Amino acid sequence: MWLGALVQSYVAPWRISLVAIALTAFVLFGKKQRALVVIIALLLGSTIMSFRAQALTQTVLMQYLGSEVQITAQVITDPNRTAPKVSGRNYVASNWSFLASAIELTSSAGTYKLKIPIRVMSPAKNLIGLLPGQTISGRAVLVKSKEARVAALVLFHGEVRIETSASLWARSLGAIRIGLRNTSGDGDAGALIPGMVLGDTSKQSADFKLAMKRSGLTHLVAVSGANFAIVSGFVLWLMQFLFRNRNYRIGATALSLIFFIALVRPSPSVLRAAAMAAVVLVAMSHRHAADSLPALGFAIAAVVIADPWQSRDAGFALSVLATGGILLAAPKIINSFARFVPRKFAEALAPPIAATLFCAPVLVALSGFLSPMSVIANLLAAPAVAPITVLG
C-alpha cells in the first residue's frame, strides 16, 4: 500500500502504475495468492493517492492562481518564522509560514465554500501566537506551490484578521509548549529539548539541524516514535500502581497517548507510533499476544490511508525502517554480541546498530554519506532520551 501510494504520487498516468505494480508482484511472488494480496494492497495505496491528488488539482483555487482574492482559512499547524534570504537579485523578508485549510474564497465571480489544504505565508505581526483551530481571513495572492500536499501557496499581504479565538484546549496545549520553550534556555541544548519533548523546532537553527543530520542524530531534532514508545511504556508502568484492572490501565494509557499526540502535533513518526501502539493496546485488552511486525504493517497501512502524502516523507520512511530493523535484526545482533560482551551491553548496543543498518540506504540518499560514528553517537545519546522525554 505504501509503495502504491508512493509510485502514484510520482507517476501521473494510473495505467503505468497499474502495469508496474502487477509485473512487480508476479516477479517477486511465485504463489498467486501472495501476488494477489500484494497487487490489491498496492492498488489500494495507488487509488487513495490518485483521489487525493485529483482533489488538489481540480479545486476552484486552480482558477485563481496568480490572482488576488479574499481567503478565509482554518489554521492546521503552528506558525513558524522563516529566515530572510536573497533569491537572485531579490531580498525575501522573513514570513510566518504554516499549513491551513481554505474554507472560503471570495472573488468578483462570487463566494465558494471549500475545504482544501493550503500553505499560508504572511509577514503580519499579529500572527504570532496563532494556534491550530483558529480562523483567519484577508486579501491574498494564490501561487502554484511546489509542496505536493497542498493545493496552492497563499500569500497574504496587508492586514490578516483573526476571526476566531483559540479553544480552551488549544490555549492550554499552547501554554505548555510556550512554557517549555521559554524555560529551556539558550544555545543548542535549549533548542534541542523542546524539539525532543514536544516537537517544537522553532528555536533550532539551520546549522544545528545540519550538524545533527551529519552526526546521525537527526531523529532527536523532533519527537519521534521512540519518544512515543517511551511515554506509553512509562504510563503503562505507572498505572499499575493506580489500577488493578488491566483494561483500566490500558484505557488510561490510551488517553495519555491521545493527549501526547495533541501536545506534540501529529508527525509521520508520531502517527506511525500511535497506530502501532493502538494495535498493541487492543491486543492486550483482548488478552492476545501482539506480534510487532503485523502491528507495524497495520500502522503503515493506517497512516497511508489517513494521509497518503506521508508515503513521500523521508522521516516516515526512516521511522518505519528503524522500527523494522529493531524488530528483525536487533534480537540476532544481541545474541551474537552476547557471546563476547555482557548481555546488558549487547542489548544497549543492538538497537542503534540495527536501526542504522536498515536506515543506511535512505540516509545515504538524503545526505550523500553515512558516518560510522553515528552508531556510537546514537549509543551515547540513547540513555538521555527517556529521562528528557518523561521529565520534560
In angstroms, how far is CA 228 from the centroid of its own chain?
Answer: 12
Regarding whether 66 and 51 lie in a shared domain, the answer is: no
DSSP letters for 243-298: -SSHHHHHHHHHHHHHHHHHHH---HHHHHHHHHHHHHHHHHHTT-PPPHHHHHHH
Last residue of a domain, one of 150, 166, 182: 166
3-class SS of residue 1: coil
Which residue positions in the chain have pLDDT lower than 50? 289
Give the pLDDT confidence of 250-277 residue by residue, as tens digits: 888 888 888 888 887 776 667 776 776 6
Regarding whether 182 and 274 lie in a shared domain, the answer is: yes
Regarding whether 235 and 352 lie in a shared domain, the answer is: yes
Domain with residue 72: its CATH number is 2.40.50
Regarding whether 262 and 190 lie in a shared domain, the answer is: yes
pLDDT of residue 106: 93
pLDDT of residue 70: 94
Alpha-carbon gap, residue 181 to 195, rounded angstroms: 9
Identity of residue 78:
D
Alpha-carbon gap, residue 166 to 177, rounded angstroms: 15
- Full-model pTM: 0.70
Alpha-carbon gap, residue 95 to 257, rounded angstroms: 33
Regarding whether 348 and 224 lie in a shared domain, the answer is: yes
Regarding whether 38 and 75 lie in a shared domain, the answer is: no
Dig out the grid coordinates for 126 from the structure: 499579529
Number of independent structural domains in the chain: 3
C-alpha distances out from residue 206 to 53, 82, 211, 273, 374, Å:
31, 11, 9, 27, 19
Domain around 385: 174-391
CB 14 within 8 A of CB 53: no
pLDDT of residue 293: 74
Last residue of a domain, one of 166, 187, 215: 166
Regarding whether 272 and 359 lie in a shared domain, the answer is: yes
Torsion of CA 300, 303, 308, 312, to 10 degrees: -60
Regarding whether 241 and 152 lie in a shared domain, the answer is: no
CB 180 within 8 A of CB 41: no
pLDDT of residue 4: 57
Q: Which residues of 120-140 are buried (b: 16+ CB within 10 A; e: fewer)?
A: bbbebeebeebbbebbbbbeb
Regarding whether 89 and 29 lie in a shared domain, the answer is: no
3-class SS of residue 143: strand
Regarding whether 296 and 284 lie in a shared domain, the answer is: yes
Alpha-carbon gap, residue 318 to 361, rounded angstroms: 10
Torsion of CA 296, 302, 306, 307, to 10 degrees: 30
Alpha-carbon gap, residue 321 to 327, rounded angstroms: 10
Regarding whether 18 and 105 lie in a shared domain, the answer is: no
Regarding whether 378 and 299 lie in a shared domain, the answer is: yes
Give the pLDDT confidence of 179-227 residue by residue, as tens digits: 777 776 676 667 777 776 666 666 666 677 777 766 666 666 666 666 6
Alpha-carbon gap, residue 105 to 70, rounded angstroms: 6
